[in-house]
Amino acid sequence: MQNVFPGEVFANTADFDNGIRQLLPRYDEMLEVITRCLPSTSRRILELGCGTGELSIKILKRCPDAQVIALDYSPRMLQFAQDKITAAGYQQRWTGIQADFGDWANNPENLDFGSEFDGCVSSLAIHHLQDEMKLKLFERIVTRLTKNGCFWNSDPTLPESPALAEVYKAARQEWAVKQGISLTEIGAKRGASSTQGYSSQDQLASLDAHLQMLSKAGFKTVAVPWKYYGLAVFGGCL
C-alpha cells in the first residue's frame, strides 16, 4: 500500500474527487455551507489544507472579489489544485503555499503570508491535529482575522456515544451503496497514512469540544450551521 500524507486518503490523486464523494455523504453540500457562511463581499480568505481545490473553486465562484491564500503540505495536492484552478480561470485570484498549518500555529514567524483575512476556512484537515494543537490553531486564526472576520471548518467529529458511532457508520455504508460501491471497495483505493509534521491519523474531537475550543480561542459567536450524522460544519465569528 502506497504511503500518503494524512488527509490525502487515496493512493492516486486522480481518485480523490470521486472517492471522497463516495466515502463521505453530502460532500458537496457540506462545502456549499461553508461558502454560504462566508460573506460574498470577502476579499481575503485563508484556506488551511486545500486538498484538490474543491472548496477554493466554490469560494472563488461565490465571492467575486476574493483572493484565496491556500496552504497544504502535500506537493501533489497543491499541483492538482493549481491545475484545476487554472482550468477554471481563477489562477489570478488563488495562491497555493506548501506549508504545514500546524507549524504555522506553533511558529507563525516561519510563515509570512499576511494577516487581515476576512475569513478562514478548512475542510477535512484539522481533525488530523491533536486537541492541544487544534486550540492553538484556532487561537492563531483569531489573530489573523479582521474585526468581523469568521472561520468555518468541516470535519468528521467524535461520535457522542458507542450507539451513535454505529448509527454514523451505517449511514456512511448506506451512502456508499447508493453510489454503487462499498466502503471495502473504497478502502482498497486508500493509501497508508503516516505522521507528517503536526498531523497524523484521525484525532477526532467531539462537536462540543470543538465549540468550547472556539470560544476559548476568542470567537464571540460559535455555531454549527450544518450537521449530518458524524460530519459537521462549525465555526465562529469575531
Position 173: which residue type?
A: Q
Residue 135, domain CATH: 3.40.50.150
Helix axis angle, 27-37 relative to 54-62, nearest 10°? Answer: 40
Place 197 in a pLDDT band, splitting at 50, 70 and 90.
low
Contact 81, 72 (CB under 8 A): yes
Residue from 51, 231, 206, 74 nearest 153 by CA = 231
Position 125: which residue type?
A: A
User: Is residue 108 helix, strand or coil?
Assistant: helix
The structural domain count of the chain equals 1
Residue from 164, 162, 190 nearest 22 by CA = 190
pTM for this prediction? 0.93
Q: Which three cell numbers mark 237?
A: 465569528
User: Is residue 98 helix, strand or coil?
Assistant: strand
Selected residue with higher pLDDT from 15 and 95: 95
Position 84: which residue type?
A: K
What's the distance, Cα to Cα, between the start and end of the chain in Å?
A: 44
Alpha-carbon radius of gyration of the chain: 17
Tell me, what's the pLDDT at 219?
Answer: 98
Distance CA 68, CA 120 (A): 9
Q: Averaged over 16-40, what is the pLDDT?
A: 94
pLDDT at 9 over 70: no
Q: What are phi and psi of 70, to 5 degrees?
A: -115, 130
User: Range of 154's domain?
Assistant: 3-237
Neighbours of 232 (CB within 10 A): 21
Place 184 in a pLDDT band, splitting at 50, 70 and 90.
confident
Place 19 in a pLDDT band, splitting at 50, 70 and 90.
confident
